[in-house]
């Protein structure tokens, strides 16, 4: 590493996106000679724009796509200015000026302002309801629109447009993609692959209007639809412009820096102004402005070495390839993709399996490829095209094989990674080579993709390289792959500690908060993630019921809002019905609420309750207040329901009062948080009408008392419950159930159902703790009673008084934002 001077220079980065921050990450690895300041227009730290579609569809929260949180900037001594727009650069004085009137000096300046959506120059394009799809604000605008309107149009059938359309369909909107051309992704796919993609996306609910030229956005201040060149119209109250992007060059142009299509840069990313550089989608290199992640990171690597005084080859441009993954649809394209005179075409298509592979040759030279359905060969083909490799019989056999080999497979993947050189790129987004990954597996002992992601960055951005990383793991670890790469249940790649180690540390070190656990135990990601935070919150509450304050931010959205989010973005509300018993008064209240809030469907659930489906997020607080019924916790890792038959009260076969016992059990244990969802059932006789044999805790009445079954599961992996014991009295039944539940709470891994837990710990160990060792059973009962006494019902808390009701309303609004 070499520094250019003996004093620390002031480096300013304008733009807080992926290209700019990746450049800073590379600089920090090479030198500490800069005082760095970052200016970003958005109010967020650096986040992964590639995953905005997940935020739009609701499968990820904003905090889950943050790449570098605020602690990262602080830890690296970087001065961060979010929500701040730089409006002018003075290259002569080496100063920048913000919209607030502030200014700052620099020794070196990087412009990484990215791109902005191309807005069709048609009448009505500036109305309310017309948005782009480039940042979090655009996501929020679309999510808010989906609550008010039902029809959306996405202009553009490329990568961005298809991702936006899928997200809007997930939000419950009737969505039409309007595309000027006759096929989707016309710059990346041939007719066959584009046709297969369109057919699959139509099956997923997206509508298409092809060869349609938009001439006007209809409306009077608010968009109401689109008009096309042929005079036809399409109704749409939300219009998403996704027809392309343009480099964001306004700042450079206003500052007298040379601009073409983008900010013009040389092979070391230098602009026309001294000590001013540009990187990413905002710049133009040798007449090309790149819009994909991998080239931007290649530019950043060259710029970082140049600024650090390290030896580097000049940036000579990038060979680009494209990947798309939407709901299981895998597409890859690189180089030339349309057949022309002079091409030799190697092709295989299987419409039944949904597989397509085409490789184009000029003479014997590989010049392009298109894959659909199976993209196992994508890294290898990208390399072959980049190098201008020749097709050989051996290579043809490896790529096309015969029979089942065309669908991929472990041996084929192994052959691909074995043929790679150590300096070949595996993760194009983050510049991670095969050698980098092999090194952390062999030297550092990493055994999972998540661990490799944390250490190297591979799979961190688009995730397209994950199959190749998995293949590398398999090849390097050999026979030990399956055993050594088994993920630890309940904990993610933020830590190497398993559940037992975490629980032990919480007890021994008396850790009492999620942040304290992560700090003391050396989390690699200081903020944790959506997998480990809820797990830690559960373990802390289970171990310290009287000391730990439940951390709401560490709960899933369903638990925060007391309702289950559905695929269309609405929610499901389930009032509790103890033992499946209701009343005319309760039914009237439910019916009135369903009518008042236009509930889409009222359904009887499998757990003998009533589910109100299709509730808007904004209506959740009011619905719960109008119902004035406790939540059935249909969303929680807790006791969901106790299913009962009519039992001895009414049934001529009943031998025990199953309804009374079911209500007693439900009221007793409803407030306890568990490692996973927990279901119970009580039968009044062995005829099993309440299906006790497939419940986490099932109880069957007989003439002599009760038989208790545990570890059943009626879900994806159906498991028949095991017989635990027989008891004679109701009190003994309550004690055994309480001890069993507490033993599961204390020894279960987070998110581990009782069926998996029982298989792991063994029924004999459960019997020892719950039945055969009275002293252990008493301790378990004492601890479950303590948890019940101290346990707070978050649903009841939310509505217990006016101030808490206001808090809940505000939390719903915050989640909506």
Looking at the chain, the domain(s) classified CATH 3.50.50.60 span 9-114+247-308, 130-243
Q: Is the dihedral of CA 782, 783, 784, 787 positive or negative?
A: positive
Binding site annotation covers 689?
yes
The pLDDT, as a whole number, for residue 795 is 47
What CA–CA distance (Å, rounded) separates 557 from 812?
A: 10
What CA–CA distance (Å, rounded) separates 473 from 471?
A: 5
Mean pLDDT per 10-residue segment, the chain (817 residues)? 60 96 94 95 92 81 87 93 96 96 96 94 95 92 91 93 90 93 91 92 92 96 96 96 94 96 96 97 94 86 95 88 67 89 91 88 94 84 88 86 45 64 74 85 84 81 75 81 49 82 89 90 81 88 85 75 75 87 91 91 88 87 86 86 90 89 92 90 89 92 90 81 92 95 92 90 89 89 88 51 50 50
Residues contacting 443, CB < 8 A, separation 6+ = none
584 φ/ψ sector (left φ>0, alpha ψ -120 to 50, else beta): alpha
Output the six-digit token pair for 145: 């629109």
What CA–CA distance (Å, rounded) separates 796 from 79?
A: 43
The pLDDT, as a whole number, for residue 484 is 46
Bridge partners, 284 (sequence order)? 264
CATH of span 9-114+247-308: 3.50.50.60
Bridge partners, 177 (sequence order)? 154, 208
Output the six-digit token pair for 597: 């809030």
The pLDDT, as a whole number, for residue 429 is 67
* 75, 36 Cβ separation under 8 angstroms: no
* 324, 50 Cβ separation under 8 angstroms: no
What CA–CA distance (Å, rounded) separates 358 from 368?
A: 8
Q: How many CB atoms lie within 10 A of CB 347?
A: 14
**CA-CA-CA-CA torsion for 233, 56, 114, 330, nearest 10 degrees?**
-90
Residue 273's Cβ-count burial label (10 Å; 0-12, 13-18, 19+) is buried
Residues contacting 342, CB < 8 A, separation 6+ = 362
761 three-class SS: helix
Binding site annotation covers 494?
no
Bridge partners, 697 (sequence order)? 680, 710
* 334, 319 Cβ separation under 8 angstroms: yes
**Right CATH for 130-243 from 3.40.50.170, 3.50.50.60, 3.40.50.1000, 2.60.40.10:** 3.50.50.60
Residues contacting 398, CB < 8 A, separation 6+ = 412, 415, 416
What CA–CA distance (Å, rounded) separates 555 from 176?
A: 35
* 176, 152 Cβ separation under 8 angstroms: yes
What CA–CA distance (Å, rounded) separates 735 from 281?
A: 65
Looking at the chain, the domain(s) classified CATH 3.30.413.10 span 636-792
The pLDDT, as a whole number, for residue 350 is 86
**Strand residues in 574-677 grouped as ranges (E):** 601-604, 610-615, 639-644
Bridge partners, 217 (sequence order)? 226
Query: Residue 763's closest CA among 707, 708, 714, 722?
Result: 722
* 283, 289 Cβ separation under 8 angstroms: yes
Residue 82's Cβ-count burial label (10 Å; 0-12, 13-18, 19+) is middle
DSSP strand pairing (276-278 vs 343-350): unpaired
The pLDDT, as a whole number, for residue 485 is 43
Residue 540 C-beta-side C-alpha neighbours within 13 Å: 23
What CA–CA distance (Å, rounded) separates 309 from 158?
A: 40
What predicted TM-score, i.e. pTM, was given to this entire model? 0.58
The pLDDT, as a whole number, for residue 737 is 96
- Apex CA 343: angle with CA 341 and CA 348, to 5°? 125
Cα of first residue to Cα of last residue in the chain, in angstroms, is 45
Residue matched to tokens 């840069």 = 265
The pLDDT, as a whole number, for residue 407 is 40
The pLDDT, as a whole number, for residue 405 is 39
Binding site annotation covers 462?
no
Output the six-digit token pair for 817: 């934002």
Residue matched to tokens 């502030």 = 102
For 360, the enclosing helix (H) or strand (E) is: strand 355-362
780 three-class SS: helix
* 391, 399 Cβ separation under 8 angstroms: no
CATH of span 636-792: 3.30.413.10
The pLDDT, as a whole number, for residue 462 is 64
The pLDDT, as a whole number, for residue 13 is 98
Give the helix, strand, coil percentages of the chain, each rounded to 5.
40, 20, 40
């Amino acid at each position: 590493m070499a520094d250019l001077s003996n004093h620390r220079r002031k480096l300013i980065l304008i733009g807080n996106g992926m290209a700019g921050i990746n450049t800073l990450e590379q600089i920090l690895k090479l030198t500490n000679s800069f005082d760095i300041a970052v200016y970003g227009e958005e109010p967020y730290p650096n986040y992964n724009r590639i995953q905005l579609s997940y935020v739009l569809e609701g499968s990820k929260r904003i905090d889950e796509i943050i790449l570098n949180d605020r602690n990262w900037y602080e830890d690296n001594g970087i001065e961060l200015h979010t929500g701040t727009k730089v409006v002018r650069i003075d290259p002569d004085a080496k100063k920048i000026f913000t919209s607030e009137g502030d200014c700052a000096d620099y020794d070196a300046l990087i412009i990484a302002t990215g791109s902005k959506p191309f807005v069709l120059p048609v009448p009505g394009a500036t109305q309310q309801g017309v948005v782009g799809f480039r940042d979090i604000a655009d996501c929020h605008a679309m999510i808010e629109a989906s609550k008010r309107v039902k029809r959306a149009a996405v202009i553009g059938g490329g990568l961005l447009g298809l991702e936006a359309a899928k997200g809007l369909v997930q939000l419950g909107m009737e969505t039409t993609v309007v595309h000027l051309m006759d096929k989707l992704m016309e710059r990346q796919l041939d007719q066959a692959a584009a046709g297969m993609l369109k057919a699959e996306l139509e099956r997923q609910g997206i509508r298409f209007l092809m060869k349609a030229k938009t001439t006007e956005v209809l409306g009077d201040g608010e968009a109401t639809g689109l008009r096309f060149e042929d005079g036809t119209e399409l109704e749409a109250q939300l219009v998403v412009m996704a027809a392309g992007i343009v480099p964001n060059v306004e700042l450079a142009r206003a500052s007298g820096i040379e601009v073409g299509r983008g900010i013009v840069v040389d092979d070391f990313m230098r602009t026309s102004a001294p000590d001013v550089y540009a990187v990413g989608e905002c710049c133009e290199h040798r007449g090309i402005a790149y819009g994909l992640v991998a080239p931007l990171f290649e530019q950043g690597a060259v710029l970082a070495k140049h600024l650090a005084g390290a030896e580097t080859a000049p940036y000579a441009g990038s060979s680009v390839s494209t990947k798309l993954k939407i709901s299981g649809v895998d597409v890859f394209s690189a180089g030339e993709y349309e057949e022309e005179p002079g091409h030799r075409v190697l092709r295989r298509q299987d419409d039944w399996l949904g597989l397509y592979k085409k490789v184009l040759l000029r003479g014997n030279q590989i010049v392009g490829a298109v894959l659909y359905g199976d993209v196992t060969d994508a890294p290898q083909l990208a390399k072959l095209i980049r190098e201008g490799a020749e097709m050989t019989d051996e290579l043809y056999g490896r790529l096309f094989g015969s029979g089942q080999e065309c669908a991929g497979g472990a041996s084929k993947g192994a052959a691909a990674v074995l043929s790679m050189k150590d300096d070949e790129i595996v993760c194009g987004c983050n510049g991670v080579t095969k050698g980098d990954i092999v090194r952390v597996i062999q030297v550092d002992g990493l055994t999972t993709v998540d661990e490799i992601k944390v250490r190297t960055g591979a799979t961190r951005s688009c995730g397209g390289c994950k199959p190749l990383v998995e293949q590398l793991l398999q090849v390097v670890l050999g026979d030990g792959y399956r055993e050594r790469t088994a993920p630890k249940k309940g904990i993610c790649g933020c830590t190497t500690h398993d559940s037992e180690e975490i629980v032990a540390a919480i007890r021994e070190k008396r850790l009492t908060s999620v942040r304290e656990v992560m700090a003391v135990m050396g989390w690699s990601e200081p903020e944790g993630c959506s997998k480990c935070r809820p797990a830690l919150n559960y373990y802390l509450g289970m171990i310290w019921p009287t000391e730990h304050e439940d951390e709401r931010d560490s709960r899933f959205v369903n638990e925060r809002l007391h309702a289950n989010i559905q695929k269309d973005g609405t929610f499901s509300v389930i009032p509790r019905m103890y033992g499946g018993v209701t009343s005319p008064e309760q039914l009237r209240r439910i019916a009135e609420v369903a009518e008042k809030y236009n509930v889409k469907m009222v359904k009887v659930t499998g757990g003998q309750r009533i589910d109100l489906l299709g509730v808007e997020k904004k209506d959740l607080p009011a619905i719960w207040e109008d119902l004035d019924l406790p939540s059935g916790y249909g969303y929680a890792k807790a006791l969901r329901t106790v299913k009962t038959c009519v039992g001895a009260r009414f049934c001529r076969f009943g031998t025990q009062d199953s309804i009374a016992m079911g209500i007693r059990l439900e009221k007793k244990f409803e407030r306890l948080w568990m490692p996973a969802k927990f279901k119970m059932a009580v039968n009044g006789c062995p005829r099993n009408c309440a299906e006790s044999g497939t419940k986490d805790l099932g109880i069957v009445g007989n003439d002599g008392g009760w038989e208790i079954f545990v570890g059943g599961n009626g879900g994806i992996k159906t498991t028949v419950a095991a017989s635990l014991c027989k008891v004679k009295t109701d009190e003994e039944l309550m004690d055994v159930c309480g001890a069993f539940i507490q033993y599961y709470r204390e020894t279960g891994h987070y998110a581990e159902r009782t069926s998996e837990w029982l298989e792991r710990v063994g029924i004999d160990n459960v019997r020892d703790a719950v039945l055969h060792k009275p002293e252990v059973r008493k301790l378990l009962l004492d601890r479950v009673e303590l948890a019940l006494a101290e346990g707070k019902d978050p649903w009841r808390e939310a509505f217990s008084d006016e101030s808490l009701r206001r808090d809940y309303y505000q939390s719903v609004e915050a989640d909506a934002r």
